[in-house]
Structure 1
Amino acid sequence: MAALAVAGVASAQSSVTLFGIVDASISSVSNKSSLAAATSAVAASSLPGSTTVSKTGLNNSANSSSRLGVRGVEDLGGGLAASFWLEGAISNDEGTGAATGGGFNFQRRSTVSLSGPFGEARLGRDYKPTFWNLTMFDPFGTNGAGSALLQRAISGSTALPAIESSNVRASNSVGYFLPPNLGGFYGQAMYGFSEQTKYDSFLQGSLNNADRTGRYWGGRFGYANGPLDVAVAYGEQVNDSSYTLGTNNVSKNFNIGGSYDFGAAKLFAQYANVKGVVDYSGSNEPALNPDKKLTGYLLGVTVPVGAGQVRASYGNVKYRVEFEAIAPRKADQLALGYVHNLSKRTALYATVAYIKNKNGADYSTGSGNIAATYQPSVLNGDGAGVYLPKSSVGYDFGIRHSF
């Protein structure tokens, strides 16, 4: 009886939970593309002016990201607790262990924490503060065909590479979260180490070329009370660096988002300004610095309907390069969806989205492994032509189960 009592106390003081989401959908994407460039005049005259590229199949994570994880917490007494969280992506449509098709890993989140009245200190791989606003204030949660156009643009495309590489998560990070008893105010800060070797002065040169690459710092501060939730975030990341050239390629991400629940409908809004800046050491800076700038916004709504929920959003982005002669690239996206809850853990869903590209933007509604590509086309040896999507239509019909 004494042994059972001790076991009961230990069980009450600590717990380990296995959890996950399995999400599968029939998804499709169709990009109507136009000839943007050709390698020769003959190719320009002989290649078709437009073409359509499409792809249909079984997808995953179109409503919520499929995942498998284990988490645990131990009560240390005195208001202190230690916890861990290990979570990995799964491609249930193919039976592989990760969304990339490789072996199973914990790259979605792998952290260990110490929490108490002071807040929480968290170490490992986790969401960046600047990503939280993009996913929390998107009616579609940055998943599937309806994923926020802002998130698509920051992640990059074929013609417009990402300004901020890997904008979702940071590895090798130390994070701090404010305690939850601050009258609705919340916040977090994060620093991600570059973990690059640094050499002494006589060994500098090319050995120190990338000593800042991968370093990240950022923070998020918000207020949530009743129907209102609003937050602002800022972060900087060194995407690559060169000691020899005296340059740092830095992304600077500022965004703000919010939601307000009226009961009959919940409104969402977000705005982001992401800059790709090349920092120079001094005299090597060119007269015209080719900085990149991405701005955009999203307006969205969710409306409860019986056991389900209607979702809708409109997004707009603008991408430009300083001192570039051509007009800024632009895109607009409309998305509409419905989620029907069969229970607290299982739901059916449908989503359709449309993107209109302008001035060389090439964003697509595809997601996961259902993402249509558009490679240069060759015809009769006359040369190649590059096709960029002028418009894109995508849809998802699926089921999501959590446990």
Structure 2
Amino acid sequence: MYGLADVYLGRSATSGVAARGNVINSGGMTTSYWGIGGVESLGGGQSATFAIEGFMRLDTGEQGRTPGEGLATRAAYVGLNGSWGATKIGRIPNPLFQASAALNPYGFSTRLSPLMTQMWIVPYGSSSAGDSGWSNAVHYTSPVVHGFNAVVQYGLGEHAANSPGNNKVALLKYTGSALSAAVAAQDIGYGIGISNAAPSQRTYFAGAAYDFKVVKAYAGFARNTQEGSGRTTRTTHLGLSMPHGAGRWLLAWARAQEHSFARAPFRRDTAAAGYDYNLSLRTDVYASYLYDKISTAADGNTVALGIRHKF
């Protein structure tokens, strides 16, 4: 068994949302989860693999990211690996979600990362539909050739009444000694953010990170277009990560510019600054500040002090 436990104490306020106050929440830097998995050698360089992973909330002891979520919504799949690449079938993490996490200094943080909150979290606009994982999905990852590899994933909507389409994503990645980059195209036809009134969404994403040793720089851009509502969002992201002592300083900013048939154009600026300190190889503590401002609403300020442990 493996997983990650992350909990923080702080004060939370989001621009345009009335609710604000002192909180103890799960998943400040990474959404807490548990998992079981394994690999079996099949000979000839082939192997079979499986993973069953679920989210959990340390502040309440409940399963899932939200009340009512299923037991294993982080991942639940079986797959095959070989020199030809890797395949999976089941509920599979979204490659676009993983790429956006890899190319910002706050990583998978959906509470403190400006890019991740704006792209994936509803109170911050959730510009990207489809969630961090897809049910009823088939996945393929190609072998790495000169640092490049491709990922494609297809999810079946199975004719759900409120989201009749299917999901598709294609991703090209490059990983070198200093440079990491990715470009992706996603078409969502079922899941979070999809309804009969807004039956599909397309997203294009490009991001990169370069490690200068004394500082690591990040940049990214995403464009989302929703059918039906006319909602279009353009998100720009910049970030820095600077090693210091046993930890690193984190700085990040994202701006989303949005318009739709039902709402006048507006923009959202979200910025974060923090420090993540490693107590050991598996445990770190962090302190971070998040500023959030919609052009048509009062600002919001979030402060978090937390601890994260991998097991």
What CA distance in whole angstroms lies between the structure 2 residues aligned with 1:300 and 1:91?
28
Match of 2:272 in 1: 335
**1:253 maps to what in 2?**
203
Q: Are 1:291 and 2:230 an aligned pair?
A: yes
Within 1, Cα distance between the matches of 2:195 and 2:104? 33
Query: Is 1:169–2:133 an aligned residue pair?
Result: yes
Distance 1:234 1:141 in 2: 20
Q: Could you say which structure has the greater relative contact order, defined with CA pairs below 8 angstroms and 6 or more residues apart?
A: 1
Residue matched to 1:128: 94
Kept in 1: contact 2:31–2:108 (CA 8 A): no
| Aligned AA (1:230) | A
Deviation at 1:125, TM superposition (A): 1.1
Check 1:86–1:60 CA distance in 2 against 1; reply closer, same or farther (3 A cut). Answer: same
Aligned in 2, Cα 1:26/1:235: closer, same or farther, shift over 3 Å?
same
| Residue correspondence of structure 1 range 4-403 to structure 2 within 5 A | 18-31=1-14, 53-102=19-68, 105-143=71-109, 145-149=111-115, 151-157=117-123, 162=126, 164-180=128-144, 182-196=145-159, 213-239=164-190, 249-278=199-228, 290-321=229-260, 326=264, 328-359=265-296, 389-403=297-311
How big is the shift at 1:141? Answer: 1.8
Partner-residue secondary structure (3-state), 2:200: strand
**Cα offset, 1:256, TM superposition:** 0.6
Pair 195,144 (structure 1): closer, same or farther in 2 beyond 3 Å: closer
| 133-142 or 343-352, which deviates more | 133-142
How far 1:61 sits from its partner (Å)?
A: 0.6
**CA gap 1:297/1:351 in 2 versus in 1, 3 angstroms:** same
User: Structure 1's 144 and 352: CA in aligned 2 closer, same or farther, altered over 3 A?
Assistant: farther
Q: Which structure has the highest helix share of the two?
A: 1
Residue identity matched to 2:135: S
Separation of aligned partners in 2, 1:62 and 1:115: 33
In 2, the alpha carbon distance for the partners of 1:234 and 1:338 equals 33
Counterpart amino acid of residue 89 in structure 1: F
Q: Do the aligned partners of 2:15 and 2:293 also contact (CA within 8 Å) in 1?
A: no
Q: How many equivalent pairs are there? A: 308
Contact residue 150 and residue 317 of structure 1 kept, 8 A: no
Q: AA paired with 1:184?
A: G
Mark the CA change 1:308 to 1:62 in structure 2 (over 3 Å): closer, same or farther: same
CA distance in 2, matches of 1:259, 1:105: 34
Is residue 91–residue 101 contact of structure 1 (8 Å, CA) maintained in 2?
A: no
Q: Secondary structure at the match of 2:298?
A: strand
Query: Who is 1:371 aligned against?
Result: none
Higher mean Cα deviation, 143-152 or 291-300?
A: 143-152
Per the normalisation by structure 2, the TM-score is 0.91
Q: Distance in 1 between matches of 2:41 and 2:108?
A: 34
CA shift, 1:55, in A, is 1.8
Q: Judge conservation of contact 2:12–2:302 (CA < 8 Å) in 1.
A: yes
Q: Secondary structure of 2:29's partner?
A: coil
- CA–CA distance in 2 between the matches of 1:230 and 1:99? 29
Q: Which has the larger Rg?
A: 1
Distance across 2 between alignment mates of 1:174 and 1:219: 12
Q: Structure 1 residue 103: deviation in Å?
A: 7.4
* Separation in 2, partners of 1:358, 1:266: 30
Deviation at 1:306? 1.1
Give, in whole Å, the separation in 1 of the partners of 2:294 and 2:248: 29
What is the letter of the counterpart of residue 140 of structure 2? Y
Q: CA RMSD in A?
A: 2.4
Distance across 2 between alignment mates of 1:140 and 1:338: 10
Q: Secondary structure at the match of 1:132?
A: helix
Q: Identity percentage over the alignment?
A: 27
Q: Which runs of 5+ in 2 are unaligned?
A: none
Tell me, yes or no, if the aligned pair for 1:121 and 1:175 is still in contact at 8 Å.
yes
State the 1:251 CA deviation.
0.2
